Amino acid sequence: MQARKSEDTAIPMCGSEGAVLRQKADGKLREHLEGIARDIRWDIVRMIGLAQSGHPGGSLSCADILVCLYFYAMNHDPENPDWGDRDRFVLSKGHAAPALYAVLARSGYFDREELWHLRRLGSILQGHPDRLKTPGVEISTGSLGQGLAAACGMALGLRMDGNPARIYALIGDGESQEGGIWEAAMLAGHQRLDNLIAVLDNNGLQIDGSCCEIVGLGDIAAKWRSFGWEVQEVDGNDVLKICEALDHAASADCPAMIVAHTVKGKGVSFMENNVDFHGKAPTPEEMEKALKEIEGS
Amino acid sequence: MKNTRDGYAAALLELGERDQRIVVLDADLAKSTQTEKFKQSFPERFIDCGVAEQNLMATAAGLAATGKIAFASTFAIFATGRAYDQVRNTIAYSNLNVKICASHGGITVGEDGSSHQALEDIALMRAIPRMKVIVPADFYETREAVKAAAAIEGPVYVRIGRPKVPVLFDDGYRFEFGKALILRPGRDVTVLACGFMVHKALEAAEELAAEGIEAEVIDLHTIKPLDAEGILASASRTGRVVTCEEHSIVGGMGGAVAELLGEEMPLPMRRVGIRDSFGTSGTVEELVEHFKLGSHHIAEVVRAHCG
């Protein structure tokens, strides 16, 4: 079984100002990134389906964000994962590991075949990211609320060295109930970490129900602003909107937060906005149905 | 009498001078942990995380991920209890070069009382894979242990105390990581001590010698990895073991030694330490009496054990 591959166009990875406008002009960027995102979703569903374990909802909601980071915004070199000037990405919501694994494989950090061994004993792809096992993973995450703080530490370290690279972090909305997120938010704001860009995958659902019902985040943009961050709100499943926001965030003189409004389970109709698919794998039949739906999209 | 915290500060200054990778983080206790001195000399490599110990540990992990050797300091109770998950999952699981140098370990925190007295920190830290655990006994041993920790790849926990303690070593002391250090040879009983309890054990041995009991006093500064060979060699000579620590008898140094002896050389042993209780307010001297950690208490345990 093979995923339908988008045509690999010759658009270079870049993070420079104005790039999105140039590329939008020739109309290829959306097609390029959406094609990759479709493949990534196919891989996410298949790897979780084969593993019969994992978190499809939050992996699918953030797929477009990760595609924009790895195939548009970030300077990185899969051939040389330890390159000192690389931009770094931290998946603070570590349970979306399948999305990260899919973009890392697609980038060339490891063979795509590894995806089909997700969560198996001896696999390089653990249930949650492990930097010692998976090439391209910068720091191990999974226990929520800690990745953003680690990203702050990385941003501080690079700034001390005069390294121009950026740190990107993806956090969840359920994860934002962790106090650790706000400790990190306060430190980053105080330190004016302008090399730190965080994206909130605001899909509105967590294990026990909707975030609003469990412990609502309130005016989340206002909260981040009050912690000294520049905040943008975008449609987190629109690749061009995400790219524009990432470009804009790169020019901020303080840490930048992109509140990305997303749909949990995006791209598979029966998973969309369905809380049951937070941490439940599709059955083999559901997997086939989902893969066909993605192929036809 | 000299402060072990000053030994930590001295090591940091020395390390900071010769290695640009050294960064220090604190959580609003720089004046107490003595990282303040590093801050004054190398302000660009010092980060105060404020009253946020969990953030302190995860931020230190991130710094280490960019190639820094990150020293993270706060009181032992907060470093190991409050931030346990960050230490386990973000530092140790990632195998990052973070040195957790925690001051105010043990009951000798004194007047602040139970909320600030870490009596389980050694147990918590030694249970974490990849973590090394060092409990130095005096100013010089602390200074040298911290320098040794900087040279070790991966996470290290160094437990430092609050009170001034007698100076046992000198400026030329060479710290050997992972080696049980015999401070006083003896044939009748092996007394293993760490940190604040080392000088108490030496005083006890003095008292016992007058009665004809020759105790072999060992400074067990490295609790993980445990020097199995050194401990077993001494225990096989004496046939009896007593451990001394200002920590719970559950899971600490005494626990580690009991695990070793239980598997390798079952023989009678006793543990001097906090007997599964919380601490309480008091002066150091009062608390040492109250929790039976004094040299005469050690002597009493040894006497009964040898009798």
Residue range B146-168, pLDDT digits in tens: 999 999 999 999 999 999 999 99
**Residues near B151 by Cβ (< 8 Å), separated by ≥ 6?**
none
Of B54, B60, B85, the CB nearest to A153: B60
Q: For A50-78, what is the mean pLDDT?
A: 98
CA A139/CA A224 separation, integer angstroms: 24
- Same domain, yes or no, for B66 and B137? yes
Whole-number pLDDT of residue B229: 98
**Structure tokens of B68?**
């820094």
| A78: CB partners within 8 A, 6+ apart | A104, A107, A108, A109, A136
B17 and B160 both lie in a single domain: yes
**Does residue B195 share a domain with residue B160?**
no
Please determine, for residue A267, whether its predicted confidence score (pLDDT) is greater than 70: yes
Q: What are phi and psi of B91, to 5 degrees?
A: -85, -60
Q: Which residues of B172-190 are buried (b: 16+ CB within 10 A; e: fewer)?
A: eeebebeebbebbebebbb
Burial class of residue B99, CB neighbours in 10 A (0-12, 13-18, 19+): buried
Amino acid at B126: R
Would you state the structure tokens that stand for residue A168, as one six-digit string? Answer: 């990107």
Residue B290 has pLDDT above 90, yes or no: yes
**pLDDT at residue A4 tops 80:** no
State which residue of chain B sits closest to A156, comparing Cα positions: B63
Tell me, what's the pLDDT at A19?
61
For the segment A136-160, the average pLDDT, to the nearest whole number, is 98
Q: What is the mean pLDDT of residues B173-192?
A: 98
The tens digit of pLDDT for each residue in B53-101 reads 999 999 999 999 999 999 999 999 999 999 999 999 999 999 999 999 9
> Among residues of chain B, what percentage have pLDDT more than 70?
100
Instruction: State the pLDDT at residue A27.
Output: 75
Listing DSSP states for B12-71 in one string gives HHHHHHH-TTEEEEESS-HHHHSTHHHHHH-GGGEEE--S-HHHHHHHHHHHHHTT-EEE
Whether B174 is covered by a domain: the verdict is: no
Judged against a pLDDT cut of 90, whether residue A16 lies above it is answered with: no
- Asked, for residue B278, whether it belongs to a domain, the answer is yes
Average pLDDT for B248-265: 98
> Which chain A residues contact residue B67 at CB under 8 A?
157
Q: Is the pLDDT of residue B288 over 60?
A: yes
Looking at the DSSP bridge assignments, the partners of residue A89 are A168
The confidence band for A23, taking pLDDT boundaries of 50, 70 and 90, is low
Residue A26 pLDDT level (bands cut at 50, 70, 90): low
**Rounded to an integer, what distance in angstroms lies between the CA atom of residue A32 and that of residue A34?**
6
Cis peptide before B225 (omega within 30 of 0): yes
For residues B116-123, give the mean pLDDT: 98
Q: How high does pLDDT run on average in chain A?
A: 93
pLDDT (0 to 100) of residue B307 = 85
With 80 as the cut, is the pLDDT of residue A6 above it? no
Q: What is the pLDDT of residues B217-229, one digit of tens each?
A: 999 999 999 999 9
Instruction: Inform me whether the pLDDT recorded for B12 exceeds 90.
Output: yes
Q: Which domains does chain A have, with CATH numbers?
A: 19-295 (3.40.50.970)
The structural domain count of chain B equals: 2
Query: What is residue A217's three-state secondary structure?
Result: coil
* Percent helix / strand / coil, chain B, rounded to 5: 45, 20, 35
Cβ-defined contact of B62 to A158 (cutoff 8 Å): no
Q: Is B73 domain-assigned?
A: yes
Band of residue A25 on the pLDDT scale cut at 50, 70, 90? low
Residue recorded with tokens 């140039």: A22
B238 or A2, which is more confident?
B238
Shared-domain flag, residues B85 and B194? no
Tell me what percent of the residues of chain A surpass a pLDDT of 90: 91
Q: Do B55 and A187 touch (CB under 8 A)?
A: yes
The helix/strand/coil state of A197 is strand
Q: What is the mean pLDDT of residues B106-130?
A: 97
Domain boundary among B111, B137, B165: B165
Catalytic member of B14, B17, B36, B53:
B53
Report yes or no on B25 lying in a domain.
yes
Q: Is the pLDDT of residue A2 over 50?
A: no
Domain hosting B252: range is 181-306
- Could you read off the pLDDT of A165-178 as tens digits, one per residue? 999 999 999 999 99
Same domain, B63 and B196: no
- Asked whether residue A9 carries a pLDDT value surpassing 90, the answer given is no
Q: Are residues B161 and B206 in the same domain?
A: no
Q: Would you state the pLDDT for residue B204?
A: 98
Tell me if B65 and A130 make a contact (CB, 8 A cut-off): no
Q: For chain B, what's the residue count?
A: 307
pLDDT, mean of residues B127-143: 98
Whether residues B45 and B110 share a domain: the answer is yes
Considering the domain architecture, whether residues B158 and B198 belong to the same structural domain is answered as no
ipTM of the complex: 0.96
Closest among A252, A239, A237 to A198, alpha carbons compared: A252
Cβ–Cβ contacts within 10 Å for residue A110, how many? 18
> What mean pLDDT is reported for chain B?
98
Q: Is residue B148 part of a domain?
A: yes
Identify all chain B residues contacting A153, using CB atoms and an 8 Å cutoff.
Answer: 58-66, 70
Q: Tell me: do B147 and B193 sit in the same domain.
A: no
Please answer whether residues B112 and B103 qualify as being in contact, where contact means their C-beta atoms are separated by less than 8 angstroms.
no
* B160 and B186 inside one domain: no
| Chain B residues with CB within 8 Å of chain A CB | 23, 44-45, 47, 49-50, 52, 54-55, 58-68, 70, 85-86, 89-90, 93-96
pLDDT value of position A7: 42
Distance (Å, whole) CA A228 – CA B192: 52
Average pLDDT over residues A49-58: 98
pLDDT in tens, A196-228: 999 999 999 999 999 999 999 999 999 999 999
Say if CB A241 and CB A235 are below 8 A apart: yes
Contact B137, B165 (CB under 8 A): yes
**pLDDT mean over A41-67:** 98
Which tens digit of pLDDT belongs to each residue from A97-127? 999 999 999 999 999 999 999 999 999 999 9
Q: How many angstroms separate the CA of residue A100 from the nearest CA in chain B?
A: 17
Residue B155 lies in a domain: yes
Residues B44 and B155 in one domain: yes
CATH number where B16 lies: 3.40.50.970
B175 assigned to some structural domain: no
Under the banding of pLDDT at 50, 70 and 90, the label for residue A18 is low
Please check whether residue B119 lies inside any domain of the structure: yes
Strand B181-184 relative to strand B215-219, pairing: antiparallel
User: Alpha helices of B76-217 — where are they, by DSSP H?
Assistant: 76-77, 84-85, 121-126, 139-151, 197-209
CATH number, domain at B284? 3.40.50.920
- Per the CB < 8 A criterion, the answer to whether A231 and A260 are in contact is no
**B106 and B214 fall within a common domain:** no
